[in-house]
Each structure stands twice: as structure tokens, then as C-alpha cells.
Structure 1
Amino acid sequence: MCKVVAPRPSGHSPAHLLTSLADLLQAWLPEQRWFAGKGRRVTDLSLLSVTELHPACLHLLISTGDGSSPSRPGDCYQLLLGVGEVLPPRLAHARIGRASQGPLAGLTVYDALQEPRSADLLLERLRTPGTAGPLRFERDAKVTVPAGLTPRLLDVEQSNTSHVYGNAYILKIFRRVRPGINPDLEVPWALARQGCTRVPAPVAWFRTSEPLPATLGVLQPFLPDAVDGWTLALESLTAGRDFREEAYELGRATAEVHLALAAAFALGAPTADGNRRLAAAMIERLDTTSRSVPELLPHVDGLRGAFDELAALDSGRPVQRIHGDLHLGQVLWAGERWSVIDFEGEPARPIAERRQPQSPVRDVAGMLRSFDYAARSRHPWRPEWARRCRDAYCAGYAVQARWDPRAQGALLRAHETDRAVYEALYEARHRPDWLPVPMAAIARLAEHAPSSSGGPHTPVPSFHSFHSAQGG
């Protein structure tokens, strides 16, 4: 254990404390998986709030910028920092650095979210609601969380940090913080009130009231025996096993969640003007992305065609709250049943935008892209596997929702195209070796294709008719 001799932050202004931390954080932050400013130096750093959770652990909200524009708002990040004289070898990977000046001079600073003691503290705070400075810890009064659950850090690549407690609960801590209630709290809570069992209901959460109200973390039940859809799909591909039945059931699960969302939140009527605005936003994202990903440039004109088709639509499906970032990594298979998780949406987009009603076709398009991603991640590429999964998924969705997303051809193609453009930007920034995966879809989508793969009068099949048609 670290010997803690750090001064209490209450005796120092945030600016004073920042003299100890600024150099360390400017070097450390760009190396973190969850840091959004990849490729940019952190030149502007300000401390928005400091709360002492215990003498060895400081909760910080910091704002970062790159100095490129005085008017550009900085990103806000949540940190738990441990401070001590000596860092034990088991926490060497969490080391941020040794402060050379300010109130922490001579002390080692580390990421306390890598430390079981700090994870224990967070769970205890959530078990017994209350406040700590601007922090508010709250829970569902109908649920009692037991004490003494052993924490473990979820060792997966993600944009947040999660701890699993006793294989019973999972606490997601949002690293990048946006003002407002996070959809990953708001939506599962609303679905629980609707009786939807496809989504684990929030048990407890914590938030801040300063500098602006924001959600900081959510505790939910953990499904210890579950396998995420991405892993399951890759296992199917590796074993040469059919995945159509799972895809069909996943389509039904998606539609079930969409129906519950439509009941929990207000619907919006589709309009021609709304389609034009949506298409314009997609074109703007395409133009912006093509300036950062030159591989897109030969396909820009073809991709615009999908958005032009969308702009010409007079109507479409009603808009509603949706998942917003649906793919195989956001669904869990346990007990022959799918659950849907991670309703945060695309973290790069403002929360207000993520909370806006959208077409459920966007979620469908995200999952269709995910089947293609899985198929292309294994060699040789098996396009027939992806095609069958896509058809099975849409068939399952149609049975539950009573409408077939394939009949919304122009809308589906536009959302698939927009998703592929997003993927190209993501891969170019974070995983350049994966860029050929979305680029293959972009080349296909850029070609002129019929506006509907299923036709405007596609019948809604039963599972048995679907299964027979696929030779099952």
C-alpha cells in the first residue's frame, strides 16, 4: 500500500493543485484508450472540480483543449487519482508520474481506478446514498446491494472504465463527461419502468452538480455467463457454424426494445423536411471525414447518391428514441436469450443530439454493418455468412415489429452509408489496420444500388418460413 502524505485538496485551490498535475496529465492523457483527442497535444488544461474521496484518492473533473482555438470548448474528463510516496509493483501499470512542483511535489500520482481499494470505496458510496462535495451517489430504493463484493477491473478495450463486483454487478464509469443525463442511465431506467427485460435495469448511479449537472457512472446487474454477440459471431465463423438462428432472434430482441422505447418516450412524425436535414447532416459528415481520410475521396460522389435518395423521401418510419450505437458488441447472449446493453450512443456526439428521436432504421443499419465487420475479420472473407445473417436479422425484426426494415430501402442505405463513413474515420484514427473493412463496404455502397433490397411489399415471414427458405 502507498504511504500517503499528500496534503488535503481542501487546503489548496484547483489552480494550485494543477501546478502538480498539469505536466503529468498532458503527457498521460493522450496515451489513454478513452481519450478523444488522439493526435493532438494537450496544451490547455483546467481543473473544474476536486473532491477528496479518501486521503489517498482525489476525484477530478478536468477540461482539456489543444490550443487551436480560444473559442473551441474543451472536453471534460473524469479521473480518480491516487497519491502516495511509493507505488507498489502491482500498480506499476497505473503510474502517471511523480509530481515535481506544487502541493504534491515529490509524490507519485496514479490512476486510482486501477486499484481495488478505490473500486471498493465507489461501491460503498453507491450502497449508501449521499453526497461528497458536488458528487451525488444515488440508488434504486427497491434494490439492496450487498457489501463486500470483490471488485475486478474489466479488461477490455473500451471508451469508459468498468468494474465488476462479485460477478453480480458492473459499474461503468464514464471517462468523457458531457452535461446532462447520460442515455445509459436514462434509457435503461425508462425501459425498466416499461417492464422490458431485455435491458439490465440501473441499480445505482452517481452524478455531479458542478460545474454542470452530469452523469458520472451507472451500476447495473452483471450477466456472468453471457457472451457478447461479437465473440459469438467470430466463434461461429471460425467453426464454420451457421449463425442465422441467433441473428433471427437478435432481430426480434432489437424490435422488442424498439417497441418498448416507443412506449416510454414521445414519438415524432417523419417529414420531408426532416429527411432533408438528416441527409444534409450526413453529407456534411461525409465531406468532413473525406478531408481526414483521403481513401474516401474516390467514393464521395457515389456515397452522396445514398444521401440524395434520402433527401428525396417524403416520409418514412416514425422517429423515436433508439439505442444509437447498436452492433454485435452491444448485445449479450445468455440462456438462449439476447440482452441489449450500452445505451450511451456514440460518445463523440453531444448528449442532446444522442437523446433526439431518430429512425429505428439507424439501429438496424448499425447491426447490419456489424455482421459485415465480423465476416471480414476472418480469412477467407465469407460474404454469404454476412448476407444470411443480415437477412435473418431483418426477418426476425419484421416478425416482432410487424414491419420489415428492408422495405425502407433508401433510409436503410443512407444509414448504412453514414455508419460506414463513421467507421472509416474511427479506424483511421484508432486502428489503421482495420480501415480496409469499412472501405470495402464504402466501395459497395458507393455503387448505385436499388433503393430497396426487400421491395416495398416484402411480406413479414414467420420463423419457420424464414428457416425453410434458408434451407434450415
Structure 2
Amino acid sequence: MSEAAATRTPVGRPPLVPLLPSLAPLLRSWLPRQRWFAGKGRSITGFSPVSATELLPVTAAGPGAGPGLLHLLVTVHQGASSASDDCYQLLLGVRDALPPHLAPALIGRPAAGPLAGRTVYEGLLDPRLAELVLERLRTPGALGPLRFEKSAHSPAVPGGLAARPLDAEQSNSSLVYGDEYVLKVLRRVQPGPHPDLELPLALARAGCARVPVPVAWYEATAPHPYTLGVLQPYLRGSRDGWQLALEALAAGRSFTAEARALGRVTAEVHTALAAELPTVALDRARAERLAAAMARRLDEAAHAVPGLLPYAPRLRTAFDALAGLGDTGRRWRVQRVHGDLHLGQALYADRDWSVIDFEGEPARPLAERRRPQPPVRDVAGILRSFDYAARTHRPWNPSWAERCRTAYCEGYAQAAGVDPRAEPELLRAYETDKAVYEVVYEARHRPDWLPVPMAAIDRLAAAA
């Protein structure tokens, strides 16, 4: 769809109708440079409006006019079919001119439209506008298609908290308020309940203290329901497991005690999710569907990264073994899981672990991320993460990773009563699937890291 076609869909108030076509040239240049933009490497062919809301009026101009804040949901077209389209959440600040400290936030100056001649920039980098978003969350209610909600069981969020962006940006954006709260702003959004809100709320109902409880959130209600942002307590003084693991490696120190404790925490989270949300059995049909999806991803990955081709026949035996589990007469529990668990998603403070970021793998469709999975999927993610950490050390220390993997599984077994290593077909299939995913990711984004998952591919293929 062309930018001109976007004018046929009115959004926001009448003055905003021609807004998107006038912003299109700026967004076409700016979006691919954002880390959270999923369409890198593909041409942007057009934009369509989904909704537009003035959180702070943007049309005022002239001496003394303050900044405006415009909330946009925009569909970005990147191909001939709608399958390549993604909807993004944008929070655009508008000023007559940017002060020097906001220069890195610049998006551009529209040449036409209602904002012609004014300066448009990334609003979340403006502390004044970021604090306005918190004020909206402190006072629940609706604003156009947006609805702001607050947990009835959480204490009141204080006002006047200074805002700063969190440096560790990945597929979303995060704001820290006064070192007390962190707001995750979801960027690439899809209709339906979002696991990063749904699962922490379920864990809170189950009484699981291993996950920060959402205190407020905001959503879009039209034309589709979208979860847009979640506010949670900020775990001050915490360190993520990836940083701790690298420090242990550099110091030549064991990490097994921390790994064992993380295994116990993972099991506690799985137990609480199974108690609060529905579970199903891994029957023959479900096992075959899981295996077929893994085999399909392997074929696609081998096409994208030819270095996988020599390994593909032996890797596929792991998926064949998974498909064959339905013929054994055994049954495994399938439930909601974290979906993208690794050391960077675990925070360590006061000699204890918390688990964050229940979004799942952001490249996969939301419906797939919400689908029940065997708990061993999360276990495989952590085991792969230990391998990654060990590979960053020179010389490579595979025995360090193996000790951590063993301790983690022991800790999991202590809390769950089931050792993941007692399910070798499931564990190997999910580790293989994860390693294949990593190969494609590294080949596209960090070619220097490609030997890390390829070493796992070699090990897992040899196990055939």
C-alpha cells in the first residue's frame, strides 16, 4: 500500500488525517536504524495508519509552546503480501526546535502536513514526555483508543519520578522511573493478550514471588486489542545472569551454585504456571506437530545458512525421535512457559534469582508464543546460554559450561521432582531447535558469533 493510500483512513482528530503521508519519508529512513525494528534488510513499501492519539497536544506552535506527544500505531508494509506487514507503536515528540541534549532523538522535520516545519523526535528520550506517560498510568482510564489500567492489589505509584531510558534495548524500549519502576514499551505489536502481561499476572495470582508483579499497563482497544506497555517494579541492584556468568569465567570461578539455584527457580515458575493456567498432554498428534514445525524451521535455516546443510540429516533425527514419542504410550505435560529463557532474562540480587521478560521469541507470531509447550523448552534455552557464555572465554572452557548445565538440571529436579535429562528426546529436540534458531540469528546479525551455535550444531549432530 502506498503512503498516498493511507490518507483514505482517517485517524485521530481531523487535523491529523494527512499526518502519516507527511511523516512517511522520515519514518522510511529512521525506522530501519532502530534496534527494535524487525524488518531490517527489506524495503519499506508503504505505511497505513491504525490509530493516532495526542497524549499531549502537538498542534500548538510558536514562542513558549511546550512539547507535544503523539501516540501512533502504524502498519509498515514491506512486501507484496500482508504476511510481511508489521504494526509498530511509536511515541513521537513534537517541538519547534530540539534542545542540544535531545539531538540524538531527532527523526526529522516534515516538509508538509499538520507538523510542517516542526521537529519530530523519539518521545521516549525526552524525560518530560516520558514522565507524562507515567502520569497516564497513575490515573487509569481511556483516552481515545487507548486504555490505561492499574492493578488493584499494588500500592499507588508515586508521581514526580525522574525518567531515564534503559540502555539494554532489544526488541522493545524500556524506561526506568526513579529506580523504582520500569516500563516496557512494546514496539512490534500484534492483536491479542500479550504473554509479558498475561503470564506475570497469572504468576502473581499463583503466589509466585519469582517474577516482578505488573502494577499498571496500557492497551489499545480499537480497531483491535493490543497490549502496548507494562509497568513493573524495578529490581535495583540486580545483575543479569549473563553478566554474572561472564564475570565468573573471567575470574576462573565456579558458577554451579548460581546455576543450581536458577534451576530451582525455573522449576518454581513452571509449577506455578501449571497450577494457574490450563495444561494439556503431549499426545501423538501434538508431538508430531511440534516435530514437523522444528523440521520446517531446520529446512528454512539450511536454505538461509548453507553451512547447516551437511548437518541437516543428522539433526533431523532429533525431531523424528520427538515425533515418535506419541507411539511410546507415555504422556508429558504441556503448559505455558517463558518461551525465550536465557541468562539475560534472569536477574540476581540478594543471593536470589528473579525471572523477567515473558514475551517469548519476538520473531514468532503471538499465537505461537502463547501456545502450550513442554517445560523443557525453557530448560534448553538456559543450557544453550551456558554454552554461549563459555564460548566468550579464551581459551574456550567447555567443562565450565558442562558443570553449569549439570548443576542447573539438578536444581530443577530438586524443585520439580523431574530431571530434564530424564527426557532425552525432548531435551535434544528443543536444544537442536534452539541452536538452529541461533545459527540464523547470528548469520544475519552477528556473523562473528556464528561459531558459537555451530559448535552446538556439531555436537548435537554427532549425538545422532
TM-score scaled to structure 2, two decimals? 0.93
Contact 2:442–2:449 (Cα < 8 Å) also in 1? yes
The question of 1:257 aligning with 2:269 is answered yes
Within the candidate set 325, 344, 351, 1:329 is matched to: 344
Is the alpha carbon distance of 1:147 and 1:428 closer, same or farther for their aligned partners in structure 2, counting shifts above 3 Å? same
The question of 1:72 aligning with 2:83 is answered yes
The question of 1:404 aligning with 2:406 is answered no
Within the candidate set 384, 387, 390, 2:405 is matched to: 390
Within the candidate set 27, 38, 49, 1:36 is matched to: 38
Shift of 1:428: 1.7
Shift of 1:229: 0.4
Once the two structures are superposed, the pairs formed by residues 262-301 of structure 1 within 5 Å of their partners are 262-301=274-313
Give the gaps of 5 or more residues in structure 1: 1-7, 450-472
| Aligned AA (2:198) | E
Once the two structures are superposed, the pairs formed by residues 129-140 of structure 1 within 5 Å of their partners are 129-140=140-151
- Answer with 293-302 or 89-98: which moved more: 293-302
Within the candidate set 421, 425, 430, 1:415 is matched to: 430
- Answer with 143-152 or 254-263: which moved more: 143-152
- CA–CA separation in structure 1 for the residues paired with 2:266 and 2:134: 31
1:367-390 Cα distance to aligned partner (Å, 9 max, x none): 000000110012111000000000
Contact 1:316–1:408 (Cα < 8 Å) also in 2? no
Once the two structures are superposed, the pairs formed by residues 362-373 of structure 1 within 5 Å of their partners are 362-373=377-388
- CA–CA separation in structure 2 for the residues paired with 1:109 and 1:26: 14
Once the two structures are superposed, the pairs formed by residues 369-384 of structure 1 within 5 Å of their partners are 369-384=384-399
The question of 1:437 aligning with 2:456 is answered no
- Answer with 388-397 or 68-77: which moved more: 68-77
Shift of 1:358: 0.6
1:156 matched residue in structure 2: 168
Once the two structures are superposed, the pairs formed by residues 52-451 of structure 1 within 5 Å of their partners are 52-55=54-57, 56-66=68-78, 68-72=79-83, 74-142=85-153, 143-314=155-326, 315-449=330-464
- CA–CA separation in structure 2 for the residues paired with 1:361 and 1:339: 19
Shift of 1:151: 1.0
Within the candidate set 36, 48, 51, 2:50 is matched to: 48
- CA–CA separation in structure 1 for the residues paired with 2:106 and 2:12: 20
User: 1:352 aligns to what SS in structure 2?
Assistant: helix
- CA–CA separation in structure 2 for the residues paired with 1:64 and 1:326: 29
- CA–CA separation in structure 2 for the residues paired with 1:100 and 1:378: 51
TM-score scaled to structure 1, two decimals? 0.91
Shift of 1:211: 2.1
Shift of 1:398: 0.4
Shift of 1:78: 0.3
Shift of 1:144: 0.6
- CA–CA separation in structure 2 for the residues paired with 1:215 and 1:268: 26
Contact 2:16–2:114 (Cα < 8 Å) also in 1? no
Shift of 1:354: 1.2
1:272-311 Cα distance to aligned partner (Å, 9 max, x none): 2211111000000111121112221221112111111111
Shift of 1:71: 4.0
User: 1:104 aligns to what SS in structure 2?
Assistant: coil
- CA–CA separation in structure 1 for the residues paired with 2:288 and 2:213: 36
Identity, % of aligned positions: 63
Give the gaps of 5 or more residues in structure 2: 1-10, 58-67
User: 1:72 aligns to what SS in structure 2?
Assistant: helix
1:11 matched residue in structure 2: 14
- Answer with 332-341 or 93-102: which moved more: 93-102
What value does the CA root-mean-square deviation take over the aligned residues? 1.3
Shift of 1:241: 0.5
Shift of 1:73: 5.1
Contact 2:12–2:51 (Cα < 8 Å) also in 1? no
User: 1:12 aligns to what SS in structure 2?
Assistant: helix
Contact 1:9–1:17 (Cα < 8 Å) also in 2? no
